[in-house]
Structure 1
């Protein structure tokens, strides 16, 4: 069966790998002309994340490419240290730059998947037996299934679920290349920044923040959350941030990798695969969602004081400090048997 995947970030290549293993023929279409390099560090936490990487055969390569996480030191505008967020709290078992992970997953799946860069879906027509797809540049094609793995601003979601948009969480962030890897964060109410990194609170809605506001080498976006009653319709479904996104700190990378394994396995099992996929992944992904802006950059002086006190208590409260690990492991993965 032919499966079209929109998006070659993290979820798309991971899903392409598993679909090929289960006997499908995946095609990945990516709007960007090439893989996007760089980006912020992402991490994996707990056995659910690591076991899928291990079964994919990429865990060793992830460890080889890992970054060296350091404590995040928060300073006031006067330069004095206010608090410190330990590296073990922010980085999980292994941390890797998003661009490095994306390329690793692409290289691991490219031999068994067709990749089309510089193109995107413009329309979908699901007639119950298949999905007719048109593209901005390529010729129309027909697929058995279509999967939206195209992020928080998913084009597939807009086409199939136009009534659902990400919920703005009141903050924006920007990431760009900067010299060094300084983890010292300058903070004030509703604001936190470091070399190559900025987060701030704003009441301006995302639709008014156009791409023209930032330079091409700056990644700029809102902190938002995707929460839908269902992420599937007919022969189309969503995965990763497209269906369950939570900008920054929502363990989206781990959720995407786990979801790719579950979705491919359920599709291979046949029947009402998308319903089973949603029933297993939905509660898991929702439990990992949060608002990093409110956590790192409280909007009041009292909020900053409370944040600093909480960070100071983390080493003394291991059960509270590892609530992220509890969320990351809150799923029992089925055993699927690949076709090859």
Structure 2
């Protein structure tokens, strides 16, 4: 029952879902708009149940070996003098959270390695139309021939094509969080090794992220924008102009050097800080997982955790229901809603990174200079794992 499952999106959620569906005896196919796996990207956190999912997939030791190994955040002034530092590794060790950060591209490569020999991949194509019938979903592609699948899962991110086709325009589901961000490759010499070096102006942040296990670095730009901008999320040159216009007149610190490098990077990434809020993550034979269903925004640091846990639960419930999608989708939502709701409570993260006023920058730096144990009380609730029910073990009771 419902053996043939199309997954749109070859990132963390889609690859994790494909791994578990294949393990449970289903036949997943992954379609990805890009012509190959998307490399690079920012650092992503593995937290709580995502660590357990990775353990069950046999890759957690590899994740720890390839971790980004960034100590924490260093706040600097225009002369590049350190004003304050937050040692995130020390806090995590104190909390014994087990949390680890890895570059998104490295995690995607691991997941692909687990699935590349067992799963059909279609790169360089995307879904153009979905038509649900009584016994499946007819899928038309931008380039390939029309095919029928039993189920279709959208794991295609914040700007999900599957969500748009099956549920409606993204404007119905997007909650804008008053900021835009960009990241791109950077000259490593512009930042301190193993630190996220941050320079603030009121309502703006420019930073350099240097992983201890990678030769390169990333430049980050964030700016406050009370009202959403109008632009094409696929037009990179238009997005580069937005960042250029926003930061072009800032000559302090290393802003112009970082800006020049970012504008020259073909892998430049820009988007709004947004969350996806939906009453239901499924409609008929179509369901959503990861950012497509419940993006918590990059400010939460929860994207990878929600992607992996959600994908594991969705595949597991499909298996437990032996492919009965109506039962499986309902149980997936019931089991995953509590985690999503908690992870979407961003808290003070964005105010920590991008204070609105000079006084906010001063207060943040003052707090960050306090001894570790005093500072801990102010940031502990961001990192402290909350009590959750044990992650279920799934099995498929019967086979067709």
TM norm. shorter chain > 0.5? yes
- Per the alignment, residue 5 of structure 1 pairs with 7
Quick one: which of 147, 150, 166 aligns to 1:160? Answer: 166
- Per the alignment, residue 310 of structure 2 pairs with 259
- Per the alignment, residue 49 of structure 1 pairs with 50
CA contact (8 A) 2:299 2:350 kept: no
- The more displaced of 129-138 and 293-302 is 293-302
Q: Structure 1 residues 278, 309: CA separation in 2 closer, same or farther (over 3 Å shift)?
A: farther
In 1, Cα distance between equivalents of 2:35 and 2:387 = 35
- Per the alignment, residue 246 of structure 2 pairs with none
Once the two structures are superposed, what CA deviation does each residue of 1:11-70 show, in whole Å capped at 9, x if it has no partner? Answer: 011100000011110000000111111111112123x12111010111122122112112
Once the two structures are superposed, what CA deviation does each residue of 1:252-290 show, in whole Å capped at 9, x if it has no partner? Answer: 101111111111010012241111101111221121122
Once the two structures are superposed, what CA deviation does each residue of 1:213-232 show, in whole Å capped at 9, x if it has no partner? Answer: 22532111111111111111
**Is 1:243 the equivalent of 2:293?**
yes
Classify the secondary structure of the residue corresponding to 2:341.
helix
- Per the alignment, residue 121 of structure 1 pairs with 127
- The more displaced of 255-264 and 84-93 is 84-93
**Is 1:220 the equivalent of 2:228?**
no
- Per the alignment, residue 148 of structure 2 pairs with 142
Which structure 1 segments of 5+ residues have no match?
none
**Is 1:14 the equivalent of 2:64?**
no
Displacement after TM superposition at 1:312 (Å): 4.1
Once the two structures are superposed, what CA deviation does each residue of 1:87-129 show, in whole Å capped at 9, x if it has no partner? Answer: 3258962211111111110111112211111000111111232
**Is 1:332 the equivalent of 2:395?**
no
In 2, Cα distance between equivalents of 1:310 and 1:149 = 39
Which structure 2 segments of 5+ residues have no match?
209-218, 241-262
In 2, Cα distance between equivalents of 1:92 and 1:54 = 12
Q: Taking structure 1 as the reference length, what is the TM-score of the superposition?
A: 0.92
Displacement after TM superposition at 1:179 (Å): 2.1
CA contact (8 A) 1:240 1:252 kept: yes
Q: Structure 1 residues 5, 336: CA separation in 2 closer, same or farther (over 3 Å shift)?
A: same
Report matched runs for 1:153-232 at 5 Å: 153-163=159-169, 164-180=172-188, 182=192, 183-195=196-208, 196-208=219-231, 210=233, 211=235, 212-213=237-238, 214=240, 215=263, 216-232=266-282
Displacement after TM superposition at 1:332 (Å): 2.9
CA contact (8 A) 1:76 1:188 kept: no
In 2, Cα distance between equivalents of 1:294 and 1:138 = 46
CA contact (8 A) 2:9 2:30 kept: yes
Once the two structures are superposed, what CA deviation does each residue of 1:139-196 show, in whole Å capped at 9, x if it has no partner? Answer: 1111111111001111111111214242211111111111225322111111111231
- Per the alignment, residue 102 of structure 1 pairs with 108
In 2, Cα distance between equivalents of 1:41 and 1:156 = 26
In 2, Cα distance between equivalents of 1:304 and 1:317 = 16
- Per the alignment, residue 26 of structure 2 pairs with 24
CA contact (8 A) 1:15 1:261 kept: yes
- The more displaced of 236-245 and 37-46 is 37-46
CA contact (8 A) 2:75 2:85 kept: yes
Displacement after TM superposition at 1:306 (Å): 3.5
Q: Structure 1 residues 130, 320: CA separation in 2 closer, same or farther (over 3 Å shift)?
A: farther
In 2, Cα distance between equivalents of 1:293 and 1:155 = 28
In 1, Cα distance between equivalents of 2:305 and 2:29 = 22
In 2, Cα distance between equivalents of 1:141 and 1:79 = 57
CA contact (8 A) 1:284 1:327 kept: no
CA contact (8 A) 2:132 2:285 kept: yes
Q: Structure 1 residues 168, 119: CA separation in 2 closer, same or farther (over 3 Å shift)?
A: same
- Per the alignment, residue 274 of structure 1 pairs with 329
CA contact (8 A) 1:287 1:327 kept: no
CA contact (8 A) 2:320 2:395 kept: no
CA contact (8 A) 2:368 2:375 kept: no
